[in-house]
Structure 1
Amino acid sequence: MKLKHRSLALAAVSSAALLALSGCGAGSAGSPTSSAPVPSASGYAAGNLEPIASSRTTTSLKTATVDGQKIIVDANGTPVYIYTLDNAGESKSVCLGGCALLWPAVESGSEPPQVQGITAKVGSMPAADGGKQVTLNGLPIYYYAKDNGSGSATGQGVAGVWYVLAPDGSPIYVGSTNTSSPSPTSPLSK
Protein backbone atom coordinates (compact mmCIF):
# COMPACT_ATOMS: atom_id res chain seq x y z
CA MET A 1 0.00 0.00 0.00
CA LYS A 2 2.87 2.42 0.82
CA LEU A 3 4.40 1.76 -2.61
CA LYS A 4 1.15 2.74 -4.33
CA HIS A 5 1.02 6.06 -2.41
CA ARG A 6 4.67 6.79 -3.25
CA SER A 7 4.01 6.11 -6.94
CA LEU A 8 1.04 8.47 -6.92
CA ALA A 9 3.07 11.15 -5.12
CA LEU A 10 5.94 10.76 -7.60
CA ALA A 11 3.52 11.05 -10.52
CA ALA A 12 2.01 14.22 -9.03
CA VAL A 13 5.43 15.81 -8.47
CA SER A 14 6.52 14.88 -12.02
CA SER A 15 3.36 16.39 -13.48
CA ALA A 16 3.83 19.61 -11.52
CA ALA A 17 7.45 19.89 -12.68
CA LEU A 18 6.41 19.37 -16.31
CA LEU A 19 3.76 22.10 -16.02
CA ALA A 20 6.28 24.48 -14.45
CA LEU A 21 8.77 23.86 -17.27
CA SER A 22 6.17 24.42 -19.97
CA GLY A 23 5.65 27.96 -18.64
CA CYS A 24 3.63 29.49 -21.44
CA GLY A 25 1.87 26.43 -22.80
CA ALA A 26 -0.74 26.34 -20.07
CA GLY A 27 -4.31 27.44 -20.37
CA SER A 28 -6.09 29.46 -17.75
CA ALA A 29 -6.91 26.33 -15.79
CA GLY A 30 -3.19 25.52 -15.55
CA SER A 31 -3.23 22.46 -17.77
CA PRO A 32 -1.24 22.22 -21.00
CA THR A 33 -3.41 22.93 -24.04
CA SER A 34 -0.76 22.80 -26.74
CA SER A 35 1.92 20.59 -28.12
CA ALA A 36 4.26 23.59 -28.13
CA PRO A 37 7.85 22.57 -27.40
CA VAL A 38 9.09 22.87 -23.86
CA PRO A 39 12.44 24.64 -23.51
CA SER A 40 15.09 22.51 -21.86
CA ALA A 41 17.52 23.61 -19.18
CA SER A 42 20.21 24.03 -21.85
CA GLY A 43 18.22 26.76 -23.59
CA TYR A 44 17.36 24.60 -26.60
CA ALA A 45 13.73 23.79 -27.21
CA ALA A 46 12.39 20.58 -28.68
CA GLY A 47 12.16 20.57 -32.46
CA ASN A 48 15.80 21.54 -33.09
CA LEU A 49 15.35 25.23 -32.38
CA GLU A 50 18.55 27.16 -31.93
CA PRO A 51 19.03 28.83 -28.55
CA ILE A 52 17.69 32.36 -28.59
CA ALA A 53 18.00 35.44 -26.48
CA SER A 54 15.14 36.22 -24.15
CA SER A 55 14.35 39.31 -26.22
CA ARG A 56 14.94 40.91 -29.62
CA THR A 57 15.12 44.58 -30.52
CA THR A 58 13.22 46.25 -33.34
CA THR A 59 13.31 49.80 -34.62
CA SER A 60 9.93 49.81 -36.34
CA LEU A 61 6.54 48.15 -36.54
CA LYS A 62 4.35 48.06 -39.64
CA THR A 63 1.55 46.02 -41.16
CA ALA A 64 1.68 43.09 -43.56
CA THR A 65 -0.85 40.63 -44.93
CA VAL A 66 -0.26 37.10 -43.64
CA ASP A 67 -2.73 34.28 -44.32
CA GLY A 68 -5.21 36.85 -45.64
CA GLN A 69 -5.14 38.99 -42.47
CA LYS A 70 -3.54 42.42 -42.08
CA ILE A 71 -1.32 42.04 -38.99
CA ILE A 72 1.42 43.90 -37.13
CA VAL A 73 4.99 42.84 -37.95
CA ASP A 74 8.45 44.19 -37.16
CA ALA A 75 10.90 45.86 -39.56
CA ASN A 76 11.83 42.44 -41.00
CA GLY A 77 8.23 41.30 -41.50
CA THR A 78 8.23 38.97 -38.48
CA PRO A 79 4.82 38.83 -36.75
CA VAL A 80 4.37 40.00 -33.18
CA TYR A 81 1.97 38.42 -30.71
CA ILE A 82 0.16 39.14 -27.47
CA TYR A 83 -0.18 36.70 -24.60
CA THR A 84 -3.77 36.86 -23.36
CA LEU A 85 -2.67 36.04 -19.80
CA ASP A 86 -0.90 39.43 -19.61
CA ASN A 87 -2.96 42.37 -18.32
CA ALA A 88 -2.95 45.81 -19.94
CA GLY A 89 -1.21 48.43 -17.85
CA GLU A 90 0.78 45.99 -15.71
CA SER A 91 4.40 46.84 -14.98
CA LYS A 92 5.84 43.51 -16.15
CA SER A 93 5.16 40.55 -18.40
CA VAL A 94 3.96 37.22 -17.02
CA CYS A 95 5.95 35.35 -19.70
CA LEU A 96 9.24 34.61 -17.91
CA GLY A 97 11.81 31.82 -17.76
CA GLY A 98 11.12 29.00 -20.22
CA CYS A 99 8.19 30.92 -21.67
CA ALA A 100 10.50 33.80 -22.65
CA LEU A 101 12.78 31.39 -24.52
CA LEU A 102 9.95 30.31 -26.79
CA TRP A 103 8.26 33.74 -26.82
CA PRO A 104 11.02 36.40 -26.73
CA ALA A 105 10.02 39.93 -25.80
CA VAL A 106 9.89 42.54 -28.55
CA GLU A 107 12.14 45.32 -27.27
CA SER A 108 13.00 48.79 -28.48
CA GLY A 109 16.19 50.73 -28.06
CA SER A 110 16.26 54.05 -26.25
CA GLU A 111 13.50 55.36 -28.56
CA PRO A 112 10.10 53.74 -29.17
CA PRO A 113 9.83 51.93 -32.50
CA GLN A 114 8.62 53.92 -35.50
CA VAL A 115 5.16 52.80 -36.68
CA GLN A 116 3.65 52.65 -40.13
CA GLY A 117 -0.06 51.90 -40.67
CA ILE A 118 -0.62 51.12 -36.98
CA THR A 119 -3.25 52.90 -34.90
CA ALA A 120 -2.57 51.01 -31.63
CA LYS A 121 -1.04 53.05 -28.82
CA VAL A 122 2.69 52.20 -28.68
CA GLY A 123 4.47 52.26 -25.34
CA SER A 124 6.95 50.29 -23.28
CA MET A 125 7.43 48.58 -19.97
CA PRO A 126 10.52 47.23 -18.19
CA ALA A 127 11.65 43.94 -19.75
CA ALA A 128 12.94 41.04 -17.67
CA ASP A 129 16.48 41.60 -19.01
CA GLY A 130 16.49 45.30 -18.08
CA GLY A 131 15.59 46.62 -21.54
CA LYS A 132 12.32 48.15 -22.73
CA GLN A 133 9.62 45.73 -23.86
CA VAL A 134 7.32 47.25 -26.47
CA THR A 135 3.62 47.42 -25.60
CA LEU A 136 0.60 47.93 -27.83
CA ASN A 137 -2.50 49.32 -26.11
CA GLY A 138 -0.75 48.60 -22.79
CA LEU A 139 -0.03 44.91 -23.51
CA PRO A 140 3.53 43.59 -23.97
CA ILE A 141 4.28 42.02 -27.36
CA TYR A 142 6.40 39.00 -28.27
CA TYR A 143 7.97 37.04 -31.10
CA TYR A 144 7.49 33.28 -31.57
CA ALA A 145 10.77 31.37 -31.84
CA LYS A 146 9.38 28.96 -34.44
CA ASP A 147 8.43 31.69 -36.93
CA ASN A 148 10.94 31.65 -39.75
CA GLY A 149 10.73 35.12 -41.21
CA SER A 150 8.11 37.16 -42.97
CA GLY A 151 4.96 35.47 -44.17
CA SER A 152 5.00 33.02 -41.28
CA ALA A 153 2.71 33.28 -38.24
CA THR A 154 3.03 29.78 -36.81
CA GLY A 155 2.39 31.02 -33.26
CA GLN A 156 -1.17 32.11 -34.09
CA GLY A 157 -3.55 30.48 -31.61
CA VAL A 158 -0.91 28.42 -29.79
CA ALA A 159 -2.37 27.08 -26.54
CA GLY A 160 -5.40 29.30 -27.10
CA VAL A 161 -3.52 32.26 -25.56
CA TRP A 162 -1.12 33.63 -28.24
CA TYR A 163 -2.45 35.81 -31.07
CA VAL A 164 -1.23 38.14 -33.80
CA LEU A 165 -2.56 41.69 -33.80
CA ALA A 166 -4.64 43.86 -36.13
CA PRO A 167 -3.32 47.38 -36.86
CA ASP A 168 -5.50 48.79 -34.05
CA GLY A 169 -3.79 46.43 -31.57
CA SER A 170 -6.72 44.05 -31.11
CA PRO A 171 -6.02 40.31 -31.17
CA ILE A 172 -6.97 38.42 -34.32
CA TYR A 173 -8.61 35.16 -33.28
CA VAL A 174 -9.55 33.87 -36.74
CA GLY A 175 -7.01 31.85 -38.68
CA SER A 176 -5.68 30.06 -35.61
CA THR A 177 -3.03 27.56 -36.66
CA ASN A 178 -3.64 25.48 -33.54
CA THR A 179 -6.94 23.71 -34.20
CA SER A 180 -6.72 21.66 -31.00
CA SER A 181 -7.15 24.76 -28.85
CA PRO A 182 -10.45 26.54 -28.46
CA SER A 183 -10.67 30.09 -29.77
CA PRO A 184 -12.48 32.76 -27.82
CA THR A 185 -16.14 32.97 -28.80
CA SER A 186 -16.20 36.71 -29.44
CA PRO A 187 -13.35 37.72 -31.75
CA LEU A 188 -12.28 41.33 -31.51
CA SER A 189 -10.99 41.51 -35.04
CA LYS A 190 -12.33 41.97 -38.52
Structure 2
Amino acid sequence: MKRQIWKLSAATALGAFFLAGCSSGGTAPPASSTVAGSQPSVALKTGQTALGTIVVNGQGMTAYVFDKDTANAGTSACTGPCIALWPAITSPTASPQVNGVTGKVATIALPNGTRQVTVNGLPLYTYTPDTKPGEDAGQGYGGIWWVVGPDGNKVAATPAPATSGSSGQGY
Protein backbone atom coordinates (compact mmCIF):
# COMPACT_ATOMS: atom_id res chain seq x y z
CA MET A 1 0.00 0.00 0.00
CA LYS A 2 2.83 2.39 0.88
CA ARG A 3 4.46 1.65 -2.48
CA GLN A 4 1.23 2.50 -4.33
CA ILE A 5 0.86 5.77 -2.43
CA TRP A 6 4.48 6.63 -3.20
CA LYS A 7 3.94 5.92 -6.91
CA LEU A 8 0.77 8.02 -6.97
CA SER A 9 2.56 10.87 -5.17
CA ALA A 10 5.49 10.69 -7.58
CA ALA A 11 3.20 10.69 -10.62
CA THR A 12 1.23 13.65 -9.25
CA ALA A 13 4.43 15.59 -8.53
CA LEU A 14 5.78 14.84 -12.01
CA GLY A 15 2.54 16.01 -13.63
CA ALA A 16 2.59 19.20 -11.54
CA PHE A 17 6.24 19.75 -12.50
CA PHE A 18 5.45 19.55 -16.22
CA LEU A 19 2.34 21.69 -15.87
CA ALA A 20 4.32 24.29 -13.90
CA GLY A 21 6.98 24.29 -16.59
CA CYS A 22 4.29 24.96 -19.17
CA SER A 23 3.03 27.99 -17.30
CA SER A 24 6.34 29.81 -17.19
CA GLY A 25 6.85 32.74 -19.50
CA GLY A 26 9.69 32.96 -21.93
CA THR A 27 10.42 33.07 -25.57
CA ALA A 28 11.31 29.58 -26.74
CA PRO A 29 13.26 26.47 -25.83
CA PRO A 30 16.99 26.92 -25.29
CA ALA A 31 19.38 25.81 -28.03
CA SER A 32 20.10 22.57 -26.16
CA SER A 33 16.44 21.48 -26.19
CA THR A 34 15.37 18.68 -28.47
CA VAL A 35 12.59 19.84 -30.73
CA ALA A 36 10.78 16.86 -32.18
CA GLY A 37 8.18 16.52 -34.87
CA SER A 38 10.08 17.83 -37.89
CA GLN A 39 8.63 16.67 -41.19
CA PRO A 40 10.52 16.67 -44.49
CA SER A 41 7.38 16.86 -46.67
CA VAL A 42 3.87 17.77 -45.46
CA ALA A 43 4.13 19.59 -42.13
CA LEU A 44 0.40 19.65 -41.41
CA LYS A 45 -2.64 17.78 -42.63
CA THR A 46 -5.98 16.71 -41.21
CA GLY A 47 -6.92 13.54 -39.40
CA GLN A 48 -9.92 11.99 -37.67
CA THR A 49 -10.37 11.47 -33.92
CA ALA A 50 -13.33 11.22 -31.58
CA LEU A 51 -13.26 15.04 -31.67
CA GLY A 52 -13.86 15.10 -35.42
CA THR A 53 -11.51 16.39 -38.12
CA ILE A 54 -8.42 17.96 -36.55
CA VAL A 55 -4.94 19.15 -37.53
CA VAL A 56 -2.12 16.60 -37.30
CA ASN A 57 1.57 16.72 -38.15
CA GLY A 58 3.13 14.94 -41.13
CA GLN A 59 3.23 11.64 -39.21
CA GLY A 60 -0.45 11.92 -38.22
CA MET A 61 0.21 12.94 -34.61
CA THR A 62 -2.34 15.33 -33.09
CA ALA A 63 -1.46 19.04 -33.10
CA TYR A 64 -2.19 21.13 -30.00
CA VAL A 65 -2.27 24.82 -29.11
CA PHE A 66 -1.38 26.28 -25.71
CA ASP A 67 -3.63 28.92 -24.10
CA LYS A 68 -0.60 30.74 -22.70
CA ASP A 69 0.72 31.47 -26.20
CA THR A 70 -0.26 34.78 -27.80
CA ALA A 71 -1.26 34.75 -31.46
CA ASN A 72 1.25 36.45 -33.76
CA ALA A 73 3.72 37.06 -30.90
CA GLY A 74 6.46 35.21 -32.76
CA THR A 75 7.41 33.24 -29.64
CA SER A 76 6.40 30.14 -27.71
CA ALA A 77 5.40 30.28 -24.03
CA CYS A 78 6.22 26.56 -23.67
CA THR A 79 9.83 26.40 -22.47
CA GLY A 80 12.03 24.30 -20.19
CA PRO A 81 10.29 21.15 -18.91
CA CYS A 82 7.16 22.05 -20.88
CA ILE A 83 8.84 21.48 -24.25
CA ALA A 84 9.87 17.96 -23.15
CA LEU A 85 6.20 17.02 -22.72
CA TRP A 86 4.91 19.20 -25.57
CA PRO A 87 7.45 19.11 -28.43
CA ALA A 88 7.14 21.82 -31.06
CA ILE A 89 5.94 20.84 -34.51
CA THR A 90 8.71 22.07 -36.77
CA SER A 91 9.33 22.58 -40.45
CA PRO A 92 12.57 22.69 -42.41
CA THR A 93 11.18 25.63 -44.43
CA ALA A 94 9.52 28.96 -43.60
CA SER A 95 6.54 27.97 -45.79
CA PRO A 96 5.42 24.52 -44.62
CA GLN A 97 3.37 22.34 -46.93
CA VAL A 98 -0.17 21.64 -45.75
CA ASN A 99 -2.99 19.39 -46.85
CA GLY A 100 -6.57 20.14 -45.78
CA VAL A 101 -5.68 22.87 -43.26
CA THR A 102 -7.54 26.11 -44.03
CA GLY A 103 -6.17 28.23 -41.17
CA LYS A 104 -3.21 30.53 -41.91
CA VAL A 105 -0.05 28.41 -41.62
CA ALA A 106 3.38 29.98 -41.05
CA THR A 107 6.43 29.47 -38.82
CA ILE A 108 8.29 31.25 -36.05
CA ALA A 109 12.05 31.06 -35.61
CA LEU A 110 13.35 29.29 -32.51
CA PRO A 111 16.71 30.19 -30.94
CA ASN A 112 18.17 26.80 -31.90
CA GLY A 113 17.68 27.52 -35.61
CA THR A 114 14.54 25.46 -36.20
CA ARG A 115 11.15 26.78 -37.28
CA GLN A 116 8.06 26.05 -35.24
CA VAL A 117 4.87 25.72 -37.29
CA THR A 118 2.01 28.06 -36.41
CA VAL A 119 -1.63 28.17 -37.40
CA ASN A 120 -3.50 31.47 -37.16
CA GLY A 121 -0.39 32.81 -35.42
CA LEU A 122 -0.33 30.20 -32.62
CA PRO A 123 2.60 27.77 -32.23
CA LEU A 124 1.74 24.08 -32.62
CA TYR A 125 2.89 21.17 -30.47
CA THR A 126 2.48 17.42 -30.16
CA TYR A 127 2.00 15.60 -26.83
CA THR A 128 4.61 13.01 -25.85
CA PRO A 129 2.12 10.48 -24.36
CA ASP A 130 0.30 10.36 -27.73
CA THR A 131 2.24 7.46 -29.23
CA LYS A 132 0.06 6.64 -32.26
CA PRO A 133 -1.68 8.72 -34.92
CA GLY A 134 -5.21 9.66 -33.88
CA GLU A 135 -4.52 9.74 -30.15
CA ASP A 136 -5.59 12.94 -28.41
CA ALA A 137 -4.74 12.33 -24.75
CA GLY A 138 -3.50 15.91 -24.36
CA GLN A 139 -6.93 17.39 -25.12
CA GLY A 140 -7.92 19.66 -22.23
CA TYR A 141 -4.68 18.99 -20.29
CA GLY A 142 -4.61 21.41 -17.37
CA GLY A 143 -7.47 23.32 -18.99
CA ILE A 144 -4.88 25.01 -21.28
CA TRP A 145 -3.99 22.55 -24.10
CA TRP A 146 -6.33 21.95 -27.05
CA VAL A 147 -6.44 20.14 -30.37
CA VAL A 148 -6.86 22.32 -33.44
CA GLY A 149 -9.53 22.24 -36.11
CA PRO A 150 -8.63 22.62 -39.82
CA ASP A 151 -9.64 26.30 -39.63
CA GLY A 152 -6.95 26.88 -36.99
CA ASN A 153 -9.35 27.34 -34.08
CA LYS A 154 -8.93 25.33 -30.90
CA VAL A 155 -11.41 22.54 -30.25
CA ALA A 156 -12.55 22.87 -26.63
CA ALA A 157 -14.60 19.64 -26.47
CA THR A 158 -13.34 16.74 -24.37
CA PRO A 159 -13.50 13.27 -25.94
CA ALA A 160 -15.18 10.35 -24.21
CA PRO A 161 -12.48 8.16 -22.61
CA ALA A 162 -13.79 4.98 -24.24
CA THR A 163 -13.49 6.33 -27.79
CA SER A 164 -10.28 8.40 -27.61
CA GLY A 165 -8.03 6.11 -25.59
CA SER A 166 -7.39 8.95 -23.13
CA SER A 167 -8.31 9.42 -19.51
CA GLY A 168 -9.58 12.92 -20.26
CA GLN A 169 -7.00 14.20 -17.77
CA GLY A 170 -4.00 14.21 -20.10
CA TYR A 171 -1.69 12.45 -17.65
TM bin, normalised by shorter chain, reads 0.7 to 0.9
Tell me the equivalent position of 2:144. Answer: 161
Task: Report matched runs for 1:65-80 at 5 Å.
Answer: 65-80=48-63
How far did residue 141 of structure 1 move? 0.4
* Structure 2: gaps spanning 5 or more residues: 1-12, 25-32, 160-165
Query: Once structures 1 and 2 are overlaid, which stretch shifts more, 68-77 or 133-142?
Result: 68-77
2:100 partner letter: G
Tell me the equivalent position of 1:57. Answer: 38
Tell me the equivalent position of 2:6. Answer: none
Tell me the equivalent position of 1:143. Answer: 126
Tell me the equivalent position of 1:35. Answer: none
Is structure 2 residue 52 aligned with structure 1 residue 101? no
How far did residue 55 of structure 1 move? 3.1
Tell me: CA distance 1:152–1:63, structure 2 relative to 1, closer, same or farther (3 Å): same
Larger RCO: 1 or 2 (CA < 8 Å, sep 6+): 2
* Structure possessing the higher radius of gyration over alpha carbons: 1
Retained in 1: the 8 A contact 2:37–2:57? no
Retained in 1: the 8 A contact 2:69–2:76? yes
How far did residue 53 of structure 1 move? 2.6
Moved over 3 A (4+): 18-22, 176-181
Tell me: CA distance 1:84–1:147, structure 2 relative to 1, closer, same or farther (3 Å): same
Retained in 1: the 8 A contact 2:64–2:146? yes
Q: Hey, which of these two has a bigger chunk of helix by percent?
A: 2
* Structure 1: gaps spanning 5 or more residues: 1-14, 28-51, 182-190
Task: Report matched runs for 1:1-150 at 5 Å.
Answer: 22-24=20-22, 26=23, 53-58=34-39, 59-60=41-42, 61-150=44-133
Where 1:56 maps in the other structure, the secondary structure is coil
TM-score normalised according to structure 2 size: 0.73
TM-score normalised according to structure 1 size: 0.66
Q: Distance in 1 between matches of 2:82 and 2:169?
A: 20
Residue correspondences, number:
140
How far did residue 117 of structure 1 move? 1.2
